[in-house]
DNA sequence: CGCCCCATTGAAGGGTTTCAATTATCGTGG
DNA sequence: CCACGATAATTGAAACCCTTCAATGGGGCG
């Protein structure tokens, strides 16, 4: 991600987190953004009933934490799906740089705008896609995001559990499981635990209803 | 909204749109943000199958169009629910002002961040709320948003049709209609066409699962 | 006033959840 | 290295919620 390169001389505090460790908890004071160097993160909120609701999975290159800007409190929990190395960006320092550097400002605004578009797409996904379409879209999005990062491969290792996938997609683990087997019967995927091989990406995108 | 006051000397091109008129269509070049002065807007995308999917309703004071920043193309259609008066903000001009005016920068970033939080909440709504919870949350959000603007009233006039509500909530118009009658039977609402009276806001928030 | 569109209501069908039981996988300690 | 327990994942059957299809009722505008 360009932002990291632009800033690496200035803000370069790498920090590592182990699986299931929290980087931040919702409600805490907003200070930093996190650029993922390696590993994977998830963001979640805790509902009034105390249940977790995952609202994002993040891969190397992604920046996490924009939700905290408005209220200066993080609105999400951020935790590590696996051992993860992140680069911390101090928001106030970033603001100082941004105000002196219009291209950087543009970049930051683009990232925020991308985040908005990302959530808009997810909204659509939830509001009109059926369970199999959601899961197909989810698998495809992982494939696509790895490909964007130069790791184009039909083999994907899921860094999250079935429980996390179901939670994120607004389904139950049973439904996710059933759809995985269905997609295997259709010769679209082959699934072995956390390892997924995409056997027919055309059919996958067709089911996912994405171009 | 403060932003409008801050800028009204510089960017003050008011423009009016009639009911069902499009301010922008998805895919067109991004140039302006729209601050709603009076009336109401909706944003929507057109799916691959050509169906409309509404992803937001906007009231006076709201700013619409942030989704276009990243790609410099609007990702949503924006259209008027009723006759609507908006103030147009030229994005490039705004950027010039922003880079000279740190408090303004902060304000803009806050607005983007708020948009993100808004969509995150909607995501949660879709992914884990049932139909009656969604509709209750929708009605409550209208009440709340009007209250934020100083128009605290238990009487709400819906500016959108049942069809639009159903589309936005990812339900069918029949389901929306049935839930409206159910909420009346529970003495929570009284519904007469586009006019809604909230008879028991506590029960409403309880069903909506919002504090 | 009548037409058309919007909203409401009813019954049947499909998809997802829930509950329950079984199987697989992973980490740990013997 | 294998055995074991605990956790995760799969599979089945019944219940439930929402959709779909169909018909009726109501309200606004010419």
Q: Over 80: is that where the pLDDT of B210 sits?
A: no
Q: Shortest CA–C1' contact from B192: which nucleotide?
A: C7
User: Which whole number is the average pLDDT over B83-96?
Assistant: 92
What is the predicted pLDDT for the residue at B82? Answer: 92
Q: How far is the CA of A70 from the C1' of D13 (A)?
A: 49
Contact A38, A84 (CB under 8 A): yes
Dist CA A38 CA A196 (whole Å): 20
Ranges of H-type helices in chain A: 2-7, 91-100, 102-128, 131-148, 162-169, 173-185, 201-208
Mean pLDDT is lowest, of A40-44, A190-194, B3-7, B194-198, for: B3-7
Share of chain A above pLDDT 70, in %: 94
Q: A70 and B128 in contact by Cβ < 8 A? A: no
Share of chain B above pLDDT 70, in %: 94
Q: What is the mean pLDDT of chain B?
A: 90
Q: Which chain A residues 124-183 have CB under 7 A to strand C?
A: 130-132, 170-172, 174-175, 178
List all residues 6 or more positions away from A10 whose beta carbon is below 8 Å from its beta carbon. A93, A97
What is the predicted pLDDT for the residue at A182? Answer: 96
- All residues of chain A having their beta carbon less than 8 Å from the beta carbon of residue B119 are 116, 119-120, 122-123
Share of chain B above pLDDT 90, in %: 73
Could you list the beta-strand ranges (E) of chain B: 13-17, 22-24, 32-38, 41-46, 52-58, 63-64, 77-80, 84-90, 155-157, 189-192, 195-198
Q: A123 and B124 in contact by Cβ < 8 A? A: no
Q: How far is the CA of B83 from the C1' of C16 (A)?
A: 41
Is any atom of nucleic acid chain C found less than 7 Å from the CB of residue A49? no
Q: Is the pTM of this model over 0.85?
A: yes
DSSP for A129-153 reads --HHHHHHHHHHHHHHHHHHTT---
Number of neighbours of residue B69 by Cβ within 10 angstroms: 24
pLDDT digits (tens, 9 = 90+) for A7-55: 654 566 789 999 999 999 999 999 999 999 999 999 999 987 788 899 9
Q: Over 90: is that where the pLDDT of A2 sits?
A: no
Q: How far is the CA of A141 from the C1' of C18 (A)?
A: 29
Q: What is the mean pLDDT of chain A?
A: 90
Of A169, A94, A77, nearest to A132 by C-alpha is A169
pLDDT digits (tens, 9 = 90+) for B8-56: 545 667 899 999 999 999 999 999 999 999 999 999 999 887 888 999 9
pLDDT digits (tens, 9 = 90+) for A85-121: 999 999 999 999 998 898 999 999 999 999 888 998 8
pLDDT digits (tens, 9 = 90+) for B117-136: 889 888 888 888 999 999 99
Q: Over 70: is that where the pLDDT of B116 sits?
A: yes
Dist CA A16 CA A88 (whole Å): 10
What is the predicted pLDDT for the residue at B66? Answer: 93
Closest-CA residue of chain B to A105: B99
Which of B49, B113, B127 is facing A70, going by the closest CB pair?
A: B113
């Amino acid at each position: 991600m360009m932002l990291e390169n632009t800033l690496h001389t200035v803000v370069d505090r790498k920090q590592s987190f182990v699986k299931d460790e929290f980087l931040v908890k919702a409600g805490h004071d907003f200070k930093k953004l996190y650029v993922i160097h390696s590993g994977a993160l998830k963001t979640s909120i805790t509902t009034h009933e105390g249940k977790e609701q995952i609202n994002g999975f993040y891969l190397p290159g992604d920046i996490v934490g924009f939700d905290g800007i408005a209220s200066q409190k993080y609105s999400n929990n951020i935790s590590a799906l696996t051992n993860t190395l992140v680069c911390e960006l101090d928001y106030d320092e970033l603001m100082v740089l941004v105000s002196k550097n219009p291209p950087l400002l543009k970049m930051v605004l683009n990232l925020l705008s991308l985040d908005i578009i990302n959530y808009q797409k997810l909204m659509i996904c939830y509001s009109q896609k059926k369970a199999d379409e959601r899961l197909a879209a989810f698998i495809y999005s992982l494939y696509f995001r790895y490909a964007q990062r130069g790791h184009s491969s039909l083999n994907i290792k899921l860094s999250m559990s079935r429980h996390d996938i179901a939670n994120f997609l607004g389904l139950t683990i049973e439904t996710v499981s059933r759809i995985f087997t269905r997609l295997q019967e259709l010769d679209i995927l082959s699934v072995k635990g956390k390892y997924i091989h995409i056997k027919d990406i055309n059919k996958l995108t067709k089911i996912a209803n994405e171009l």
